[in-house]
Structure 1
């Protein structure tokens, strides 16, 4: 690998704004903000909008679409043309 062209790979904290989940991992992403982690060290923090703690699929709050109602609405609007 060429030296000096790759971004720095370092520990970073990703924090979900809504779900309250935070986890420490390694990444090349950068941030000006920092947070003190459980181990006493300070790491850059990246706030994310959605994670497994707040995503509807993982939390069980996903909506089920009424597909039968949509089919009936389509048939009323356009008829049953074959």
Structure 2
């Protein structure tokens, strides 16, 4: 059993606030939680995330660590 008088007050209906709006309620030790990003406006969850890979990550890694095959690169350019 929990010891009395050592635990913080529990708020079972704490409000999560993003951009001035209550977006959800959760259980917390604080009555209000102010957040910048939540699942409702995060690009990954909303489907607006853009994958930008102007220079191939593998090629960049290989070149950085000297593992880039120069003969393969010259074959691709022809």
Tell me, which stretches of 5 or more residues in structure 1 are unaligned? 30-43
Tell me, which stretches of 5 or more residues in structure 2 are unaligned? 71-78
What root-mean-square deviation, in Å, do the aligned CA atoms of Structure 1 and Structure 2 show? 3.0
Question: Whose helix fraction is larger, Structure 1's or Structure 2's?
Answer: 2
Higher RCO structure, 1 or 2 (CA under 8 Å, sep 6+): 1
Paired residues in the alignment total 66
Normalised by the length of structure 2, the TM-score is 0.59
Matches of residues 1-82 of structure 1 in structure 2 within 5 Å?
1-10=2-11, 11-17=13-19, 20=21, 22-29=23-30, 44-66=31-53, 69-74=56-61, 78=66, 79-80=68-69
Normalised by the length of structure 1, the TM-score is 0.57
